[in-house]
Structure 1
């Protein structure tokens, strides 16, 4: 049975709208305060469904829940599948009479695995909790119907912030529009991806197969955190990413270090020298020619990233760091540069597991974060040239070591698929319109981040659809995404509900008609 504020959402979307220049936030907040329990109940029901993309039974349960939830708001969701398989994306739309602009609201409904422990409770049994220093303390009961809850309380569950929280905000925003008799000023499409956390391996095929459905003037990505200060931000791009695993070999059996320790090549030492030759202690990547296709920052970009770094000292203190790389360079400036992270080094054992033996192999796991104009294929070639310069024969054949007559000169290299960075100009009319709506909703202008430190598969949307992609983070920065005790600050959820309502209602008027 439909609730009073969700009945026939399409009819309300056609109702006369309140004057464009007036912020909707006070009205949305007033409505939301009466319905916080209902919103949280729906959020808890969605978060209780496991959502790792490799489990297609669970994915089907998420699809069924979301299909029903959007249908209650008058939006029919259609599964979009790739001919090559994978989880479906869910597509729906609201067509607004007279609208000349179309935007797509993007989020993903799949989540990270929870293996490895560390959770204070079942990650799929959502709780309300107070947090201190990113750790849950006291649990809090759900508010009674009609009551409000402290906005500092967190929803603790897998995918609460990454990325089911924004989906809950979309649903509540549709309810708010119905209750306040507002209609959209743009055509709104919804695209909910089902395997973003699994690498979006079928996303390109989905977009290519269903291209005719997915045309739009802009895609709004609701993923990622607001600024660490809590201030809103609009993100104009993301770094690309490419991961690699490199394995070095020694003798075909472990050797006593007293008898052979300075005679038989040690693969752990080879791994250490390889890493030392990749980057300096200040983070500069040492591969020859690596920075040839990295453009310098403009004065405008430098001003933006310096403004974003005003809180660097407090962030360092919160992380227990007396200093950071490159002589305490601004975090915002470092995000504008490519980065090389050593994810892990494994060779032999340490602590109580250590033995006086030369290990048979050692592995290094790394990831590169790339800026626009850098291509994963070029980075792979440079990495392999570096290994060749060190005297190694590069192979991708895992069985090569068993057949080799000189294992110690062999380097096994495997790669993640990798993808390129994406960025849109800050001067685009769509970007400026979104900023104005955000300013009205939050009551302050958002930070403009030229490029996000993390990576999202935005290049698929650019390559397959020619899309303009604008990322609008809404969740709290200390949300522990991809980690135990992932959480969503309730106040950030309420901000997202108000913002999405304002975007659907006001974006078309701020943007203006298509000429």
Structure 2
């Protein structure tokens, strides 16, 4: 019996060794090239991240732009600096075959401001390679360690290391890998480098009228943002827009002593609280008439949304909440509806300490996350009509003395229609092609996000170009984006190169 077991184990080991051997042999030449040149890719990323990228310093931003310009010139691309009222937009383009489809790729090359004192390193613009110790702390290791081995769990810490210089490096490395292999992409490539995304992309938006024809392409892919928290390849097909508003209620013309005028002079804070409480029910659903009008989640859409991995209990525990609002049946469904958020409330007294006063006004600042079925101006008008329906005299300025005497209930309402949402149908020809490209190239189906919760400032460009658009996020979700100790996981750089190769090697 022991002999039979031993023979059986020997056969299993032999088959396993053959399988492993075949797996190694089956690795494509491109995959081998990515691995062989991976250290150089990491050092290229280090080089780019070492150039500070704050638009407040135009000279350093131009250094970033010229760095990217030189890289693409070396790859045979035509590069152009498009003038704006602020920093120039870098456009790189190359036609590999006139019969191919053209894809416009978007990256931003600027970063968020920094507070060096909050970073666990001397300089946020001097990248540090770190590994996690047994206690979970990140400790710095020497860059020379790359000569011995490269661990996918290591991370590079620096401002803009993930957002958005990691995707810039990933895509560039993919193009270089194809060139080293003597191959070319199966698409024509245009690339926009935006130097002011973190500050609203005003320069890029200002170029639309003049350079819209230069940006035209068959499809548009935005390479920005974090992947799904499972770290699987991800495709995002839309993002919410944003509109803003402020609501102010009024009491007496000046703050009043709460002892002298308590129970006599109306307190605008209670007025505001009652007004706000009329807008949502206890489950978080907006009560304003027709607020969710036009939004229908058919069975196919619900199936797509429900397929996104999500652990509600884990998220609620991390947030420290008992339960989620019931706008949607789950997180992904909730993102398909416009939100109504009170982001700040204030009264007249803003100094230190407390005063026993009845404030003269109370203001709530709102933001409304928009979806494609809703427009900012329309949603704000619904809010305004809701307030009027409660008997308020609504104006866009402070009330006059005569209005104070005439109207018991006065609200000052100001709004900005903001930025619209966008969404590409995940089941459109382009949507299916992108999904199939990543599934083929990465060996697994990507996580499909119908609509991300946030807003990107380039939505006006997406809407103006009017071409099918997706977002392909590639950095780790826990990258501390916009925060101190921003980082990129080494394994995500490797994965991002393969994602980029999957797109470049696909015949759209």
Shared fold, TM over 0.5: yes
What is the CA–CA distance in structure 1 between the aligned matches of 2:119 and 2:249, rounded to whole Å? 35
1:194-247 Cα deviation digits (max 9, x unpaired): 222222334443233112212211111111221122222212222222122334
CA displacement 1:435-468 (0-9 Å, x = unmatched): 1221133221112222222222454244322211
Matched, 1:274 2:275: yes
* Counterpart in the other structure of 2:66: 64
Q: Cα gap change, 1:406/1:310 in structure 2, threshold over 3 Å: closer, same or farther?
A: same
1:92 CA displacement: 0.6
CA apart distance, 1:292: 1.9
Query: 1:44 Cα deviation (Å)?
Result: 2.8
Which residue number corresponds to residue 377 of structure 1?
Answer: 377
Aligned to 1:491: 491
CA–CA distance in structure 2, aligned partners of residues 256 and 214 of structure 1 = 61
Q: 1:136 to 1:507 in 2, by over 3 A?
A: farther
8 A contact 1:94–1:189 mirrored in 2: yes
**Partner Cα separation in structure 2 for residue 248 and residue 62 of structure 1:** 48
- In structure 1, distance between residues paired with 2:116 and 2:399: 31
Contact 1:91 1:191 in 2 (8 A): yes
| Aligned pairs for 1:257-336 within 5 A | 257-293=258-294, 295-326=295-326, 329-336=329-336
| Max Rg structure | 2
Paired with 1:245 and 1:137, the residues of 2 have a C-alpha distance of 43
> What is the CA-CA distance between 1:33 and the residue it aligns to?
3.4
8 Å CA contact 2:78–2:94 kept in 1: the answer is no
Matched residue, 1:38: 40
- Counterpart of 2:17 in structure 1 is none
Q: How far did residue 473 of structure 1 move?
A: 1.3
Residues 143, 149 of structure 1: 8 Å contact kept: no
Report the secondary structure of 2:303's partner residue.
Answer: helix
Residue 366 of structure 2 is aligned to residue 366 of structure 1: yes
Match of 1:104 in 2: 104
Partner of 1:205: 206
Matches within 5 A, 1:137-216: 137-144=138-145, 146-216=147-217
Matches of 2:167 and 2:311, distance apart in 1: 26
Deviations 1:132-167 (A, max 9, x none): 9xx963233324454443212222222222222211
Change (3 A) 1:123 1:265: farther
Q: Secondary structure at the match of 1:290?
A: coil
| Deviation sequence 1:264-291 (CA, Å, 0-9, x none) | 2323333323332232342211211212
1:338 positional shift: 1.7
Residue 7 of structure 1: aligned partner: none
Preserved CA contact (<8 Å) 1:36 1:146: no
Q: How does 1:398-417 map to 2 (within 5 A)?
A: 400=398, 406=404, 411-416=411-416
Cα distance in 1 between the residues matched to 2:250 and 2:29:
66
Alpha carbons of structure 1 residues 414 and 148: separation in structure 2 relative to 1, 3 Å: farther
Name the residue aligned to 1:356.
356
Aligned residues of 1:136 and 1:485 also touching (Cα < 8 A): no
2:80 alignment partner in structure 1: 78
CA contact 1:169–1:493 (8 Å) conserved in 2: yes
Distance 2:116 2:346 in 1: 18
Judge conservation of contact 2:96–2:187 (CA < 8 Å) in 1. Answer: yes
CA gap of 1:481–1:248, structure 2 versus 1, over 3 A, is: farther
Query: Does structure 2 retain, via aligned residues, the 8 Å contact 1:234–1:435?
Result: yes
Asked if 1 retains the 8 angstrom alpha-carbon contact of 2:377 and 2:417, the reply is no
TM-score (norm 2): 0.84
Cα displacement (A) at 1:423: 1.6
Q: 2 CA distance for matches of 1:451 and 1:196?
A: 20
Aligned equivalents of 2:26, 2:197: Cα separation in 1: 32
Q: Is the CA contact (8 Å cut-off) linking 1:237 and 1:470 kept in structure 2?
A: yes
Q: Secondary structure at the match of 1:128?
A: strand
Contact 1:67 1:76 in 2 (8 A): no
Q: Tell me how far apart the structure 1 counterparts of residues 269 and 253 of structure 2 sit (CA, whole Å).
A: 14
* d(CA) in 2 for partners of 1:488, 1:53: 22
CA distance in 2, matches of 1:334, 1:58: 41
Q: Verify: 1:217 aligned to 2:213, yes or no.
A: no
Change (3 A) 1:150 1:392: farther
Contact kept? 1:128, 1:155, Cα under 8 Å: yes
CA distance in 2 between partners of 1:117 and 1:390 (Å) = 49
The answer on whether the counterparts of 2:285 and 2:327 sit within 8 Å (CA) in structure 1 is no
Distance 1:101 1:287 in 2: 45
Q: Are the counterparts in 2 of residues 101 and 186 from structure 1 also a CA contact under 8 Å?
A: yes
Tell me the number of residue pairs that the alignment of Structure 1 and Structure 2 aligns.
479
CA RMSD in angstroms comes to: 3.1
Within the alignment, does 1:434 sit opposite 2:434 as a pair?
yes
TM (normalized to structure 1)?
0.83
**SS at structure 1 position matched to 2:506:** helix
String of CA shifts for 1:344-403, please: whole Å, max 9, x gaps: 222367997223222343332221111222111111212222333445554545xx4698
